[in-house]
Chain A
Amino acid sequence: MAINPSPKQLTAVKAVVFVLALLPFLRIAYLVAMGVPVDPVEFITHGSGDWALYILCATLAVTPLRRFTGWNWVIRLRRMVGLFAFFYAFIHFLAFLWFDHGFDVAAMWRDVLKRPFITVGFIAFVLLVPLAATSTQAMIRKLGRRWAQLHKLIYLIAPLAILHYWWMKAGKHNFEQPIVWGSVVAVLLALRVYWSWSRARTTAAAGSVRS
């Protein structure tokens, strides 16, 4: 069923999505301010990391959602959702650098270089930076085709994020959550692989008819 919201309705949908995406942050900030979490550093680090991953999955779900439902307008929400993924990843990184390492950049580097699970998480975060930085209308125009190529980095970032989560949980042999979110990312990426494979087949078939 095709739904075509008017520009006014789309603005309302955007506002709702904005508030929804902000709620986890407000909840974390509120509970920390109230002194509820026993270990606020762990609470902020885990909470922001979890939500960065969930929202990243939401951005990857936009294209499949469009294709399966014909709701082409959902693409108009993707930039904002993507920026929220970066927002939570940034808080996650900041918690690591500030609360865990007390802004000791040298100590942070030692950790990044020495511990693979941190290396991988750090790379995923660094790769998110150019995507966030090029999210303006001006950058999209300026980069043209290269913008789309650059933003394909997300196909690398998502598996890195899962690997980071997996290795983190491996310390306690607690794979339930990494399996769930790893599967979500796997399905969302597998759909792309399938589409590009079937497109290549169609093109090849069309080519052989012509020759």
Chain B
Amino acid sequence: MLIKRPSNGSNLPFPSEITPQEVYLERRAFIAKMAATAAVGSGLWEMANREAFAQAAPLAKLAATRNAALSTNEKQTSFQDATHYNNFYEFGTDKADPAENAHTLRTRPWTVQIEGEVKKPMTIDIDRLTKLAPLEERIYRLRCVEGWSMVIPWVGYSLSSLIKQVEPTGNARYVEFISLADRSQMPGVKSRVLDWPYVEGLRMDEAMHPLALLTVGMYGQVLPNQNGAPVRIVLPWKYGFKSAKSIVKIRFVRDQPKTAWNGIASNEYGFYSNVNPNVDHPRWSQASERRIGEGGLFAPKRKTLMFNGYDEVAPLYAGMDLKKFF
């Protein structure tokens, strides 16, 4: 979807550009019914229902200025694909589960607690957090450790803007992100696939890198629940699982955090998890990837780029053996 900005100086779309919610919902429901009638078996009917449900709640628009310097001009993944193919184990382990189950997440009211080795710890409301710095749109590549990739226009601001506000002390060497783990809102938390809550972490210099994005939206709207609403991190040079979703707590700590995936399978998921075509996952090669929505079945895979193509982060790891610190 192209995000148009009128030249009248306002970031709001013209009223004529907006299809009324009820009109497109009705259209979708009609198409879904027609498709389901024609479908063999129950699969499509189920998907059609899910689709109608997932679209039932309109997402608020978010005005943001495109940061062209940090954006790729590659073809964007469709909003539909980016919101219906998600790893978010709090809502189930199947990639279709989050879109189906995440409607139970309540994203308002929502606060993020910031604590640990900082001079100004705070508990900040999501609406205040959203306005803490000017919102930017950045079109990033996203590479999943499973070997697929997408191109997504995120909305947010550099994580460093938030970090500067809380003034970390000299003891803060790492930052830890803790996701919500509420059984009443997240059916997947009942399973034992991970030790809840989901924890991710970064070294301070990684967290301060301009590419590290505190993210509150995508495709010009607030984040859909299944994509980590209301606030998540996006780190385009690392595998997707490093980007914690639905964050409730940010802690500044002295020692390297025990992160969720690293904790249960440290031989497969390293703490750094930088995209690296030369270091295979133990059970599959990372040398290539499938771009979602591109070319279909017979399209050749793409070569994976070092740091997912974000070479500007290389100095962060100068002198480190990235085979050892994978």
Contact = CB atoms under 8 A, between A and B. Distances in A.
B39 A30 contact: yes
A111 B281 CA distance: 12
B93 A172 contact: yes
Contacts of A27: 40-41, 43
A42 B147 CA distance: 11
Interface stretch (B53-61, B208-216, B225-233, B294-302): B294-302
Interface string A170-211: 011110100000000000000000000000000000000000
A27 B283 CA distance: 29
B100 interface: no
A34 B44 contact: yes
B44 A31 contact: yes
B4 to A, nearest CB: 26
Contacts of A41: 290, 297
B110 interface: no
A41 B295 CA distance: 11
B85 A38 contact: yes
Contacts of B43: 27, 31, 36
A41 B289 CA distance: 12
Contacts of A99: 297-298
A39 B297 contact: no
B297 A40 contact: yes
A115 B297 CA distance: 24
A70 interface: no
B264 interface: yes
A117 interface: yes
A167 interface: yes
A102 B300 contact: yes
A32 interface: yes
A169 B241 CA distance: 17
A44 to B, nearest CB: 8
A173 B265 contact: yes
Interface residues of B, number: 32
B173 interface: no
B93 to A, nearest CB: 5
A32 B40 contact: no
Contacts of A75: none
Interface in B121-177: 148
Interface in A56-115: 99, 102, 111, 115
Interface string A159-175: 00000000110011110
A56 to B, nearest CB: 22
B66 interface: no
A26 B40 contact: yes
Contact of A39 (B47, B148, B191): B148
Contacts, number: 64
Interface centre among A99, A167, A172, A174 (most CB of B within 10 A): A172
A13 interface: no
Contacts of B84: 38
B44 A36 contact: yes
Interface string B69-82: 00000000000010
Contacts of B93: 172, 174, 176
B3 interface: no
Contacts of A176: 93, 191
Given A39-B85, A41-B290, A174-B193, A111 B285 contact: yes
Nearest to B83: A38
Contacts of B281: 171
Contacts of B193: 172-174
A5 to B, nearest CB: 27
B297 A32 contact: yes
Contacts of A34: 35, 44
A78 to B, nearest CB: 25
Contacts of B282: 115
Nearest to A116: B283
A180 to B, nearest CB: 14
Nearest to A26: B40
24 contacts: A26-B40, A27-B40, A27-B41, A30-B41, A30-B44, A32-B297, A34-B35, A34-B44, A36-B43, A36-B44, A36-B47, A39-B292, A40-B296, A41-B290, A99-B297, A102-B300, A111-B285, A115-B283, A117-B283, A167-B283, A171-B268, A172-B193, A173-B194, A174-B193
Interface of A: 23, 26-27, 30-32, 34-36, 38-42, 44, 99, 102, 111, 115, 117-118, 167-168, 171-174, 176
Interface of B: 35, 39-41, 43-44, 47, 81, 84-85, 93, 95, 148, 191, 193-194, 264-265, 268, 281-285, 290, 292-293, 296-298, 300-301
For the complex of A and B, the 7 pairs showing the least CB-CB separation, nearest first, are A38-B85, A27-B41, A38-B81, A173-B193, A174-B93, A115-B283, A174-B193
